[in-house]
Amino acid sequence: MNPHPLPTPGTPPEPAPLRKIAIEEHFWDPAKTSNDFAAMAQVSGVSEEFLEAALTRMRDFTTIRLDEMDASGIDVSVLSLTASGIEGMRDRDRAITAARHVNNFLAERIRESGGRYEGFASVPLQDTDAAIAELDRAVRDLGMRGVLVNGYVDIGDDEHAHYLDEPRFDAFWEALEELGVPLYLHPRPSSEVVRDALYRGRPELSGATWGFAPETATHALRLVFGGVFDRHPRAQLILGHMGETLPFFQWRIQRAFEYNPYDSRPSKRLQDYLADNIHVTTSGHFSSQALITALLTMGADRVLFATDYPYDVSTDAARWIEGAPISETDRRKIAHSNAEKLLGLSPATVSAS
Ligand code: ZN
C-alpha cells in the first residue's frame, strides 16, 4: 500500500473504432473443383484440417466472412482469387474464360454486399492482349480496384515460369499505368524444380513458413532490376507479408548489386523504387518489429492493412494494428486512408478520422 497515494485519475474516453480496410482477403470460386487447391495445399505444408477450414471460409460470402469482419472491426474487405489462380492455368483459352467468369462472379458478390466488399481483378496473362482487355473490362465496367497476380505465369507447354519483367508483359504494365490501378503481387508455391532443389525433405519450409517470401521477393526484384519501373514509372506494385522481406534486406541487396559485372542497370536505387513504386501490406505478418522496419524503409504512406483471410486470423490482425506502437496518424493511414487513396475508395462518411 502506498502511504502517500495520489488522487485516482479520471478515465479517458474510449478511442473511436479504427476504420479498417483489409486488402489481401481471398475467395475461392465455388464453380471450380478443388483439385488445384489440394495440390497447392500439399506443397504449402499445412494440415488437411486447416485446409478444410480455409476452403469453407473462402467459399462463404454471407456468414463466416462477415462475422469475422465484424469481430475485427473491418469495414471493407478487398477480395481476390486465391493462388494459384488464373496464373496456374496453362491453357490460354481456359485462362481467358476462367478470368472472365471469376471477375463476373466477384462483381456479383461485391454488388450484393452493400459496400462491405471490393475486389481485385484476375487476368489471363497467358495472352497479354486478352489480359489487357479483361483488365480494362474489370476496372471500367465491373469496378475492380486493381489486379492481383498470383506469382509467375504458366504458359502452354513451356516448362519455364514466366515472370512479369519479360518484355511480353510490357503492354500490360502500360495498361495498368493508363488505368491508374495497382498490381498486387501475391505468392504462389515455387516451381517443382525450385522446390526439389531447396526444400527436398523439408516440405514444411516451402510454403508460407518461408518459401513464399523468397519466391515473391525474387519476382519483385526481377521487376526492379529488370527496369519495369523505369519503363513504367507510374506503375504501382503491392507486396503482402510486410514486403516479403525486402524492407529488411534492401540495403544489402543494393550493396551487393553494385559488384555485379553485368550491363543491365536500373536508373535508381532499390530504396527509391520502394519509395516510388511499391507498397507493402501487413497480411499474415502481425509483427511490430517488422512493421517498424517497413515504416522506417518506406514511410507510413506505403504500408497498408491486410489480414490474409482465411489463411490467417482477422481478429489477431485487427487487435495487433489497434495496439501497435506507432502514432495515431500512421495507424489511421495504415488501417484505411492509404487504401482509400491507392484504390480510389471513398472515405467513410462517418469515420474515426
Ligand atoms: Zn494471401
- What's the gap in Å between 25 CA and the centre of ligand 1? 7
∠ CA 122-285-332, nearest 5°, is: 85
Query: Dihedral sign, CA of 140, 143, 149, 155?
Result: negative
Instruction: Identify whether the C-beta of residue 90 lies closer than 8 Å to the C-beta of residue 35.
Output: no
Report all structural domains of the chain as residue ranges with CATH numbers, in order of start: 20-352 (3.20.20.140)
Over its length of 353 residues, how does the chain's per-residue pLDDT go in tens digits? 789 999 999 999 998 999 999 999 999 976 665 555 566 666 667 788 888 889 899 999 999 999 999 999 999 999 999 988 999 999 999 999 999 999 999 999 999 999 999 999 999 999 999 999 999 999 999 999 999 999 999 999 888 999 999 999 999 999 999 999 999 999 999 999 999 999 999 988 999 999 999 999 999 999 999 999 999 999 999 999 999 999 999 999 999 999 998 888 999 999 999 999 999 999 999 999 999 999 999 999 999 999 999 999 999 999 999 999 999 999 999 999 999 999 999 887 544 44
Q: Are 207 and 44 in contact (CB under 8 A)?
A: yes
Global pTM reads 0.94
Please report where in the chains the cell 519501373 appears, as a residue. 229
C-alpha 8 to ligand 1 mean position (Å): 47
Q: Active site includes 136?
A: no
Ligand 1 centroid, distance to 217 Cα (angstroms):
14
